[in-house]
Amino acid sequence: MRLATFLYHNTPSLGIVRDNGIVPVPGLSMLDVIAAGETALADLSKIERSPVPLVPEHLLAPIPEPRRNIMCLGLNYVEHAKESAQARGREAKIPTHPLFFTKATNTVNGPYASILFDAAVSTQIDWEAELGVVIGQRGKNIPQTEAMSYVFGYTIVNDVSARDLQFNHGQFFKGKSLDGACPMGPWIVTADEIPDPHALAIRCRVNGVTKQEANTGMMIFKIPAIIEMLSRGMTLEAGDVIATGTPSGVGFARTPPEFLQPGDVVECEIEEIGVIRNRVG
């Protein structure tokens, strides 16, 4: 099932995406559905109302107000770890443990909304297409063998990054947490529809030019390992979103470096999920 949050009569509403339309389910939020789990999904699948037209601009982030920060991995693709090191004149080290950081909840942005640009804040806004994993139930010390049963579904995340802030402040949080710096969506595809999340083409285009092109199978730490390590001694909650890292082809590591400018259009696309498209400025 494809579950979205969208503006229906100007009010955020859950919707089931079907046949190029969307069936509104007012009065229920995505977090409600995730918390209720299988029962809620079974109930939703029985709804037979006709869809209304899907207006892309009416789609919001699938979880518009997450309870906790977006949890992220850095350097989870070998080629991206290499290009990052090279761009910074460092020796490439492939991580032996996942590099975790978070993006604040103020970053959450719609799949077709604008990416804010303020040259007084940052002039090095960069793109990072990523597979987002939505956690479906609370868990701690989750073993890899059980980890996939904790996944509610998948979405697309653009981990928009202000490189000047990211590097100047010596820690990822600030450079990753500008308002609107986490476009997500266009919906959540439930886990049952993607039996192998490590076999999906992942791409990013800027103004129609392909900048990133890889496959989620190239992740260094796969989803079961990520969930095992992240949940060790740290409770994961239903509705948590984990951005699993970006492949190579980001702007700051290119020669010469490239950054987003007002008017640019960034598209992040993942096979079997869809595409998010955000204009800068």
Instruction: Tell me which residues touch Mg ion (CB under 5 A).
Output: 128, 159, 246
How far apart are CB 17 and Mg ion at their closest, in Å?
Answer: 26
- Minimum distance, C-beta of residue 162 to Mg ion, in the bound complex (Å): 12
Is the CB of 128 or the CB of 240 nearer to Mg ion? Answer: 128
Residue 39 CB, nearest approach to Mg ion (Å): 34
| Rounded distance between C-alpha atoms, residue 136 and residue 281, angstroms | 34
- Cβ proximity to Mg ion: between 151 and 242 the closer is 242
Q: Which is nearer to Mg ion, 182 or 189 (CB)?
A: 182
Which single residue brings its beta carbon nearest to Mg ion? Answer: 159
**Min. distance of Cβ 94 from Mg ion in angstroms?**
16
**Burial class of residue 82 (count of CB atoms within 10 Å of its CB; 0-12, 13-18, 19+):** middle
Give 74's contacts (C-beta < 8 A, 6+ positions apart).
99, 100, 101, 172, 245
CA torsion angle 235 240 244 246 (round to 10): -140
Report d(CA 269, CA 272) in Å as an integer.
Answer: 9
The one-letter code for the residue type at 152 is: F
* Cβ 277 to Mg ion shortest distance, Å: 19
Q: In the bound complex, what is the minimum distance in angstroms from residue 246's beta carbon to Mg ion? A: 4
Taking the CB of residue 90, how many other CB atoms lie within 10 A of it?
9
Smallest distance, Mg ion to C-beta of residue 190, A: 24
**Which of 6/127 has CB closer to Mg ion?**
127
- 203 to 73, 157, 260: CA distances (angstroms): 18, 11, 16
Which of residues 33 and 72 has its CB atom nearest to Mg ion in the complex?
A: 72
For Mg ion, the closer CB: 83 or 128: 128
Nearer to Mg ion among residue 128 and residue 269 (C-beta): 128
